[in-house]
Amino acid sequence: MVMVTVPMRSIRARQVMVARGSVSCARQGRRRPTRPATRPQAAGEGDDQQQQQQQQQEEVKVVKNEEVLLSRFEEWKSRPAASIEAKAFSVAEGTTGRTLGASVAPLLTLGAGAFVAGYKGKPRKKENEGNYVLPVSLGGYEWGESQSVEAASKMNEPAKPIEIYEFQGCPFCRKVRVAVSVLGINVLFRPSPQGGERFRPEAVAMGGKSQFPFMVDPNPASGEVQMYESEDIIRYLFENYGPGEVPRGLRWRNGTLANGLGLMGRMGAGSRARPSLQPEKPLDLWGYEPSPFVVLVKEQLCELELPYVQRTCPRGSPKRQAVFEKKGKFQVPYLEDPNTGAELFESSAIVDYLNFVYGA
């Protein structure tokens, strides 16, 4: 492996160039300080009445959508995708090209985000089938994974999921998603692809500009925190919900240039909005950023502007055991949809489900 040292001035220049390619990605050369903020409010009584009418219309729309979603889900159960058997480390027929394209970014960032902070792995004799282990064994030994006690003691799962407005095709957004995977925290993603009418305007109204990623932390006792700039967001997450300092190895592997080049493997997938039905509740997705199978699902969620809580479970995460106890096995992506009751493992089945059930 050859390490190439790139001057910081050159990195900043590349960041600005990437940003100019899309007005939606963060312009990393400019920094805005963290600030407590409140969501925008109406200026007068007329505005209040108009907002109430719009809210009532949205509530009626959501109720109608719920009936349609349930009907579509029942219809989807008879489709071939519904009977696809979930198999670990296998690629479904017809998805090889997309899977390889989604593997480019993890390769160029040297697997950043694949392992939880404080990862520990070692071979051990097969003992207890009630615990999750990597589904690989040899000569009576299996590979056990966990998080060190010291690292786990420094982690702080937020009481309410961090909210992040972003889209899949943005390299600055991917940097934040990688950091989230290392920390293994739950995040409520509000997809804001180009042309989106659901969350993108909301983010602009709160923050004042069309720039992504945009983070909202509802947990601080002093008030909601809003923040732009991928580097600032990553530092904030590590200081408040992780070990404190961002690891040096993560900083150089999770660079803007490597992420930008890596996303070229998917040619902008997950960057443009498509019409969809609005769900009442966010979906739940178990996964982590470097998994190409998870990426294919997140691209669809983003294009359809479907909000989802990512239950982040990189290798070594204790959340893998939780899924194992719940379903009798662990595999990602794993999707739970509280709007229809669907529970799906296989990425190709999930993609077909999302398009069939939520596509307008």
Nearest residue to 59 (alpha-carbon basis) of 273, 276, 278, 305: 278
Looking at residue 122, its pLDDT comes to 87
Dihedral of alpha carbons 296, 302, 303, 305, sign = positive
Looking at residue 59, its pLDDT comes to 54
Looking at residue 58, its pLDDT comes to 59
Domain ranges in the chain are 65-117+148-358
DSSP 220-260: -TT--EEE--HHHHHHHHHHHHSSSSPPHHHHHHT-HHHHH
Task: Yes or no: say if 2 and 188 are a contact pair by the CB < 8 Å rule.
Answer: no
Segments of the chain with pLDDT less than 50: 1-23, 26-38, 40-43, 60
Please state, in angstroms and rounded to a whole number, the distance separating the CA atoms of residues 38 and 55.
19
Nearest residue to 328 (alpha-carbon basis) of 347, 306, 343: 343
Looking at residue 62, its pLDDT comes to 63
Dihedral of alpha carbons 260, 262, 264, 270, sign = negative
Question: pTM here?
Answer: 0.83
Within 8 A by CB and 6+ apart from 175, the residues are 230, 231, 234, 254, 255, 256, 259
DSSP 23-89: TTB--TTS----EE------SSHHHHHHHHHHHHHHHHHHHHHHHHHHHHHHHHTTSGGGGPPP-TT
Looking at residue 312, its pLDDT comes to 98
Looking at residue 274, its pLDDT comes to 97
Beta bridge partners of 335: 285, 344
Residue with tokens 């957004």: 173
Radius of gyration of the CA atoms of the chain, in A: 21
Count of residues in the chain: 360
Looking at residue 18, its pLDDT comes to 38
pLDDT digits (tens, 9 = 90+) for 32-72: 444 444 454 444 555 666 666 666 555 545 657 899 999 99
